Structure 1
Amino acid sequence: MTETARTVVFDAPGGPEVMHIVDRPVGEPGPGELRIRHRAIGLNFIDTYQRSGLYPMDLPHPLGMEAAGVIEAVGEGVTHLKPGDRVAYACQPPGAYAEARVMKADQVCPLPGSISFEQGAAMMLKGMTVEYLFHRTTPLKRGDTVLFHAAAGGVGLIACQWARSEGITLIGTAGTDEKCRLALDHGASHCINYRTEDFVARVRELTGGAGVDAVMDSVGKDTFEGSLDCLKPLGMMISFGNASGPVPPFDIGILGRKGSLKLTRPVLFTHLADHKTCQDMARHLFTKVLDGDVTIRIDQRFPLDQVVEAHRALEARTTTGSTILEP
């Protein structure tokens, strides 16, 4: 009999309620593939973009981009992993919200024994996002200043620690004083409560009117224009998410008028598409964790069958740090 695995799927775009659990067959891995038994699953904003239809997908489709577990079998040609290995990954296509799955092996990474499955599931997508923001998007050096929105979220808390370890001044934003304190505790040099302060005016004050070298903005529509106003001339605007909705069309000439600004809209999975780059990024992230520069904070845990409640909490912005699902 073909083995099955409980898997979260959705049949039509919509709110969290469109997700449901089905038993899906899990077969043997083919060439370049492996079968993994998940021990912990990561929850990310991109999952809500896919579920809502912001990022269209062929339906029905499973969800989830990030998990950690144990290899059960490998197909022909897989040389960097073997059955019994502890692993973690963040990659396309979605399908991590499951007890087990068969998937391509290239973006699955060996997980050091001193890093737990929960940490692995909570850190791969978020941590490698921070890795490419700080090391592969625009040149940043010790002494530079960046503005980082949503600094108390899963990506943000890693970014605060990463910046501190690199000697970079990070000015964060968050929606409550409690979240601001959390960002400061994790290495942010300053944190602005955007509900009670004008973050543009505060950034200008903190930088003596100069502005920041780069903005790292996963919020999107609500912060985009203000973020541009926080940059110094020739500064880099990195728009890497849409938590408040996609950035609407705008006149590209505004970049010139505001100081010859640069703008990029990077995607993690472009970097991860190359096997060597993916493995290098993962090793860099693991080194940061093993050296104590970055601690992975997991503030919410939900059983897999409570995935609807998990998505509602994430979209309501009531979560801090990382959230995992337990298969």
Structure 2
Amino acid sequence: MRAILVEQFGGPDVLRLRDVPLPQPQPGEVLVRVNSAGVGPWDAAQRQGRFGTELPYIPGFECAGTVVGKSGDDAGFHDGEPVYGYIGMGGAYADYVACRPDRLAPVPMALALWEAGALPVDLLTADAGIHDVLAVQRGQTVLVTAAAGGLGHLAAQLAIHVGAHVIATAGRDHHNFVHKLGVTDVIDHYEADWPQRVREIAPDGVDAALSTVSATTTDAVAATRDGGAVATPAPGGEIPPGRRVQLLRYQGPMDGRRLARLAPILDEGTVALIISARFDLEDAPAAHTEVERGHTRGKIVLSVNDD
């Protein structure tokens, strides 16, 4: 089968299309014919050697595709079923992948297979941040930084769905995009005083903030009221002396049951996945170059097989 293989750490050029053996499902696993795979900053970090992954490896943490085989009777999905999910720290940039069924969920009706592969990691991370870590409530004022990005655009929509007043940050070129997500107040996070701009809207500071990237975490703390909380899945950031703000670092639970529970908000159109760019499997180096530039709107996806 075709797969992107990383045989040495480095830049996007180390992503090479190779012929590799078909994976064999272990007991309880399913074999998925991959239709699409998401591309995120975690893929670039892994390719640079920052996760300590053993070489060689096939990149790709998330995908969508069709079940074509399973090992054992307890796999939970039938052959031909369209599924999507987080499959682990690699393997999705390939024609086929074997994975645990508890990481998969049926593809929501609102999503096509070609786009669904780009959703799981950021949707699960956004949902955990808004609902589990920050426990956002109706009527609260919530800050979402880098709200045009893969994680941010989903988190902003989830907070709006709860009934929160969302203040978002984004580069000025992305303000109209973020407004279309339903956010009324959008601030340019390239302005040095942007936390003060937030406090012009929320004078006491926001009740909670989700900082989606390392560069915005310390400023998100500055924009949050004493007694409030800032959640982030990214490293970096600090709380200045004298401030009573919680800084909560977390990782989203990457399980299929949560994805299945989130299906209704996708099918109802409450939360929409935005794809900014679509690349063929062999163009994975270009996809990584794009994601490393930053400033993307929504997600980037690889098209692997057309079903």
The TM-score normalised by the length of structure 1 is 0.87
Q: Which of 39, 57, 68 is matched with 2:64 structurally?
A: 68
1:212 paired with 2:235, answer no
Q: What percentage of aligned pairs have identical amino acids? A: 28
User: Where does 1:167-182 land on structure 2 (aligned, <5 Å)?
Assistant: 167-175=163-171, 177-182=172-177
Q: Does 1:314 align with 2:291?
A: yes
Deviates more, 1:278-287 or 1:85-94: 278-287
Q: CA shift at 1:146, angstroms?
A: 1.6
Q: Is the CA contact (8 Å cut-off) linking 1:63 and 1:94 kept in structure 2?
A: yes
Aligned partner of 2:198 in structure 1 is 203
CA distance in 2, matches of 1:91, 1:236: 31
Question: Residue by residue, what CA displacement relative to the aligned partner does 1:73-106 show, whole Å, maximum 9, x if unpaired?
Answer: 0111434211111100113131111111222222
Pairing 1:263–2:256 present: no
Cα shift readout 1:148-187 (whole Å, capped 9, x = no counterpart): 1110112222222222221111111112x23111111102
Opposite residue 93 of structure 2, the aligned amino acid is: Y
Runs of 4+ in 1 over 3 A off after TM superposition: none
Deviation per CA, 1:90-139, whole angstroms, max 9, x where unpaired?
Answer: 13131111111222222011223453112321221121222111111122
Taking the aligned partners of 1:235 and 1:225, their CA distance within structure 2 comes to 14
1:20 aligns with 2:9: no
Within the candidate set 213, 227, 233, 1:240 is matched to 233
Structure 1 distance, partners of 2:167, 2:87, is 29
Give the match for residue 127 of structure 1. 123
The amino acid that maps onto 1:183 is: V
Task: Output aligned runs, 1:254-293, within 5 Å.
Answer: 254=239, 257-259=242-244, 261-268=245-252, 271-272=253-254, 278-293=255-270
Q: Is the 8 A contact 2:110 2:266 kept in 1?
A: no
Distance 1:91 1:262, change over 3 A: farther
- Within the candidate set 199, 213, 220, 1:227 is matched to 220
Q: Distance in 2 between matches of 1:32 and 1:137?
A: 31
Q: What is the SS of the residue equivalent to 2:99?
A: strand
Q: CA RMSD in A?
A: 1.8
- Per the TM alignment, residue 55 of structure 1 is displaced from its structure 2 partner at its CA by 2.3
Counterpart-to-counterpart distance in 1, 2:51 and 2:89 = 13
Cα deviation per residue 1:220-275 (whole Å; 9 max; x = unaligned)? 1x22321211111121121212xxxx427x6xxx466112x21221112xx23xxx
| Cα displacement (A) at 1:318 | 4.3
Matched, 1:158 2:171: no
- Larger displacement relative to structure 2 (154-163 or 299-308): 154-163
Question: Which residue number in structure 2 is paired with residue 194 of structure 1?
Answer: 189
Query: For 1:302 and 1:13, how far apart are their aligned partners in 2?
Result: 22
Given residue 28 of structure 1, which amino acid in structure 2 is its aligned partner?
Answer: Q
Higher RCO (C-alpha 8 Å, min separation 6): 2
Q: TM-score, normalised by structure 2?
A: 0.93
In 2, the alpha carbon distance for the partners of 1:317 and 1:23 equals: 31
| 158 and 27 in structure 1: CA distance in 2 versus 1, 3 angstrom threshold | closer
Moved more, 97-106 or 81-90: 97-106
